[in-house]
Structure 1
Amino acid sequence: MVLENTVKKNRPYLAIFDLDETLIAANSASLWTAFLVEQEIALPALLAKEQKIMAAYTKGDMDMRSYLRSTLVPLVGKNIAAIEELVSVFIDQKIKPAIYQDGLARINWHKKRGDKVIIVSATSEHLVKPIAHMLGADDAIAIELETLNHIYTGNTKGVLSYQQGKVTRMKAWLASNDTLYKGCYGYSDSINDLPLLNAVDKPFAVNPDPTLAMHAQMKDWTIMDWRHDNNILR
């Protein structure tokens, strides 16, 4: 297992979850952009531009840096605390109704076993970290945002947690973590996460896109069908 730091008996497992379209029936970044337009913080033109770029995501060839240059513009000059307040409203209004209850149940299943649960997402940390906390994850890895004197600059920093970047960031996380794991589960819906799923020893394709579904069938991976019942987490 590529992401395994050691294998020993009586150690917990590590459970890695993608976020968008895996634990929630939506893309949190797209919902956020639409929310900012609703709040008149961003212009409607940004939503159209975001949707056009996102169309390439399902094909596995989205230019993530170009996407971020566009979608992070509304954060430029904003205070971290002000954005945190806005994100809290966003989670209540947009994210909680989109949660896959099966996904939440799977997180709880891992936690009852004593496993470590981490969400690894190609969405920015200002959204992923509070969403991960709300879902009960132990930690989260996301695209890191640059700030200066507690103000967002609109730039990113470090390795982007996208495609192979997720594996790179996970390896760095494991290297900085003192816990030793027996093995690693991985859950995702997207072909973009093929590097991550190939790096774990227990891969699961959750509501997979057509390309990932075909790959999962060829590799005899478990395919999970999580239905959205629109129940709001309270």
Structure 2
Amino acid sequence: MALAIFDLDDTLIDGDCASLWSQQMARLGWVDGESFLQRDAELMKAYSEGKLAMEDYMAFSLAPLVGRTSEEVAHLVEPFVEEVIEPLIHGDACKVIAQHRAAGDRLLVISASSIHLVAPIAARIGIDEVLGIDLEIEHGFYSGRTQGVLTYREGKITRLLEWLAAKGESLEGASFYSDSRNDLPLLLKVSKPNAVNPDPVLLEHAQKAGWPVLNWR
């Protein structure tokens, strides 16, 4: 049994769940829609260019959750996943997941988005094991702070190695599917890297390295 690892945003789904959730928070009236979404767009542009400090994005995007319980937020994330995210799940992604499952591979989603979004979205796709950015809860309420190593760039490797040790797994024969230059460190770590809907930097690297380039759009 090998490990099949999947990025989430712009890989399994056609979009970024964090930005889509920002739009949802604007619809809910949790944020000043225009200014919040403008700032979100600026930070996402930095991400796409490989220039984002993830700590900055998390501090910004978690501010509307401060003082809310995990149950309150989860209650509103559930319809968001059903109504907004589910139509964006790539059919080709589901086929590849089914192929890995049929082969007996262990499935894992590892994402630079917050776990309160990653876990329910992955569950909707049929993957129960996930790594995402963990959130701090104080006295039952979100504090607006993250916890532990962020699953971003090299942080994905750190968190994955911890997970492998805890689960008694290894990277032998592992596959990883991602769209982003930010995931090059982990793509270089696995034996079967796959570029999915790749950004220009990842596409160039994948072509030079002879990696599979998949179009799931």
Aligned pair in 2 of structure 1 residues 165, 181: CA closer, same or farther (>3 Å)? closer
More helix by percentage: 2
Displacement after TM superposition at 1:113 (Å) = 1.0
Aligned match of 2:11: 22
Aligned pair in 2 of structure 1 residues 180, 67: CA closer, same or farther (>3 Å)? closer
Structure 1, unaligned stretches of length 5 or more?
A: 1-11, 228-234
Aligned match of 2:31: 42
Q: Verify the 8 A CA contact 1:143 1:160 in the aligned structure 2.
A: yes
Q: Verify the 8 A CA contact 2:70 2:140 in the aligned structure 1.
A: yes
Identity %: 43
Aligned match of 1:91: 81
Aligned match of 2:187: 197
Aligned match of 1:231: none
- Pick which of 100-109 and 186-195 moved more: 100-109
Between the aligned partners of 2:56 and 2:170, the Cα distance in structure 1 is: 37
The CA deviation string for residues 80-122 of structure 1, in whole angstroms up to 9 with x for no partner, is: 1111110001101110011101011111111111110000000
Q: In the alignment, residue 21 of structure 1 is paired with which amino acid?
A: D
- Pick which of 174-183 and 186-195 moved more: 174-183
Q: Verify the 8 A CA contact 1:164 1:195 in the aligned structure 2.
A: yes
Equivalenced residues, count: 216
Between the aligned partners of 1:28 and 1:109, the Cα distance in structure 2 is: 25
Between the aligned partners of 1:178 and 1:157, the Cα distance in structure 2 is: 23
Q: Verify the 8 A CA contact 1:203 1:221 in the aligned structure 2.
A: yes
Q: 1:169 aligns with which of 132, 156, 159?
A: 159
Aligned match of 1:56: 46
TM-score of the superposed pair, with normalisation by structure 2: 0.97
The CA deviation string for residues 152-201 of structure 1, in whole angstroms up to 9 with x for no partner, is: 00000100000010011100000101346652000000000000100100
Q: Verify the 8 A CA contact 1:120 1:142 in the aligned structure 2.
A: yes
Residue 153 of structure 1 aligns to a residue whose secondary structure is strand
Q: In the alignment, residue 38 of structure 2 is paired with which amino acid?
A: A
Q: In the alignment, residue 14 of structure 2 is paired with which amino acid?
A: A
CA RMSD of aligned residues (A): 1.0
Residue 188 of structure 2 aligns to a residue whose secondary structure is helix
Aligned pair in 2 of structure 1 residues 180, 165: CA closer, same or farther (>3 Å)? closer
TM alignment of 1:13-162, pairs within 5 A: 13-44=2-33, 45-162=35-152
Greater relative CO (CA pairs within 8 A, separation 6+) = 1
- 4+ residue runs of structure 1 moved beyond 2 angstroms? 178-182
Q: Verify the 8 A CA contact 1:194 1:212 in the aligned structure 2.
A: yes
